[in-house]
Amino acid sequence: MRSRASVLRMAVVCAAALGLVLLGCGIAASPASAANEDFAKINERIIDSYLLPHFQTLADESALLGGIIAGVCAGDAGKLTDARGEFEKTALSWAAVDFLRMGPMAQIGRAERFHFWPDARNVTPRQVGRLVASRDESALDPQVLLKKSAAVQGLGALELLLYDDKRPITDTTDDGRYRCRLAVAAAEAVQAETLEVIAAWSGADGWRTRLLQPGVGNSPYKTTDEVTADFARAFITGLQMILDREIVQMEYAAVNPARKPLLVFARSGLTARYIVAKMQSLRQLYDAMDLAAAVPKDKSWMSRWISGAFDRLSDEVPDAISNTETTGEVRSRRLRILRFQIDGIRKLVGREMATLAGLTIGFNELDGD
């Protein structure tokens, strides 16, 4: 039979062992708990300080645009300049959200209804032309227009209608008057679509709740880090869109002068400003994600390099894109530098910083597939 002392010693040893186990469990759980809390704060910050405000700006600008175009249709031809100016603000507002293909923006065809792009086959001019030729009165109702082809609504159709000097919306012919009214409907359709997106984010069962309460109800997410990873994917997608749709196109055209590049908002002369606006918006999203906080001191050069790259892009993009007088190898080299900066940000965030933060991005987004 064991002595009282030996039993006591055994109890002390067991208690100590149990204490170590509990302490070990506490140490293991603490960082995960803290990480989940951090991701939750990041997600809330992105939705409330970035995503929703930018969609609201798009709704406000498109509402103003519709009103100004209506003034043109009422006979004030001088307002066409104002309408074009407001169109620019609306298009640049879209630059801040065109890569956010999550929540209600993941709905099939929705992004295309905002902006049918790229339009390599010139579908928008052809289909808008058919509407004008038939003078389809139903298309003048924005709610009906939203149900028609994406090519005849949204920013692409608006740009075509507002910047067609051969067939201006100020023309007093029947076709001119119809085109003007169609432009009003297109602007109102953009506003209606934006308000619908904002509404889908709101409410007890809205997408904001689903993203901020993963694993609850009908949320498609199980954990907070999955949501943050989706925002990181959106960031990477935005960079990839600039590379594939703009920079690579211009690089090829620089050494193949016979080929005219297909560039976003080229008709309105907004290409460079749109890309700069998109880069500035992506920087805002990058700052809101705060992935740099997870980078150890020995890799702090990554955050500094990304910050410098964003600065250089803001300075260099306008001239590199707009200065078409610089052709051949000189322009090609300048565009390659832009591509290097954008691709560098994309790879550092997607392959290094996201991993350090504990996010799983996936290969498709990283490779731009």
For the stretch 37-86, pLDDT in tens is 699 999 999 999 999 999 999 999 999 999 999 999 999 999 999 999 99
Biggest alpha carbon–alpha carbon distance for the chain: 112
Q: Give the CATH number of the domain where residue 115 resides.
A: 1.20.1420.20
pLDDT band at 17 (very low <50, low <70, confident <90, very high): very low
Question: Residue 214 — very low, low, confident or very high, per pLDDT cuts 50/70/90?
Answer: very high
Q: What number is the average pLDDT over the span 349-369?
A: 77
Alpha-carbon radius of gyration of the chain: 26
Q: Same structural domain for residues 191 and 324?
A: no
Residue of 271, 251, 270, 348 whose CA lies nearest to 309: 348
**Cα–Cα nearest to 116, from 157, 88, 161, 55:** 157
Judged by phi (left if over 0) then psi (alpha if -120 to 50, else beta), residue 323 lies in beta
Q: Are residues 197 and 342 in the same domain?
A: no
- Residue 20 is assigned to a structural domain of this protein: no
Range scoring the smallest mean pLDDT among 36-45, 86-95, 223-232? 36-45
Task: Give pLDDT, residue 35.
Answer: 55
**Per-residue CA distances from 65 to 19, 116, 154, 185, 190 (Å):** 67, 19, 12, 11, 10
Are 275 and 153 contained in the same domain?
no
Please classify residue 306 by burial: count the beta carbons closer than 10 Å to its beta carbon, then call 0-12 exposed, 13-18 middle and 19+ buried: buried
Positive or negative torsion for Cα 181, 183, 189, 195:
negative
Residues 271 and 125 in one domain: no
Contacts of 132 (CB under 8 A, 6+ apart): 175, 178, 179, 182
Q: Could you tell me if 264 and 160 lie in one domain?
A: no
Q: Is residue 56 part of a domain?
A: yes
Residue 210 forms part of a structural domain: no
Residues 238, 156, single domain; the answer is no
Same-domain pairing of 283 and 320: yes
Same domain, 271 and 300: yes
Q: Which residues contact 103 (CB under 8 A, 6 or more apart)?
A: 200, 201, 207, 210, 211
Find all residues with CB under 8 Å of 139, minimum gap 6, and list them: 131, 145, 148, 152, 182, 185
- State the pLDDT at residue 331: 85
Q: Are 306 and 341 in contact (CB under 8 A)?
A: no
Whether 77 is in a domain gets the answer yes
- As a whole number of angstroms, the distance between CA 49 and CA 208 comes to 12
Higher pLDDT, 63 or 3: 63
Query: 60 with 189, same domain?
Result: yes
pLDDT single digits (tens) 250-263 = 998 888 888 888 99
Q: Where would I find the H helices in the chain?
A: 4-46, 52-73, 79-94, 110-114, 123-134, 142-145, 154-162, 174-201, 207-212, 224-242, 248-255, 271-289, 301-322, 328-347, 354-356, 363-367
Confidence at 327, pLDDT banded by 50, 70, 90: low
Rounded to the nearest angstrom, the gap between the alpha carbon of residue 346 and the centroid of all alpha carbons in its chain is: 14
24 part of a folded domain: no
Asked whether the predicted pLDDT for residue 29 surpasses 80, the reply is: no
Q: Domain of residue 100: give its range.
A: 38-203
Q: How many CB atoms lie within 10 A of CB 94?
A: 26
Look up the pTM and report it: 0.88
Between CA 215 and CA 221 the distance in angstroms is 6
Q: Exposed/middle/buried for 366, CB within 10 Å: 0-12, 13-18, 19+?
A: middle
Q: Are 157 and 271 within one domain?
A: no
Total count of domains within the chain? 2
**Residue 9 located in a structural domain:** no
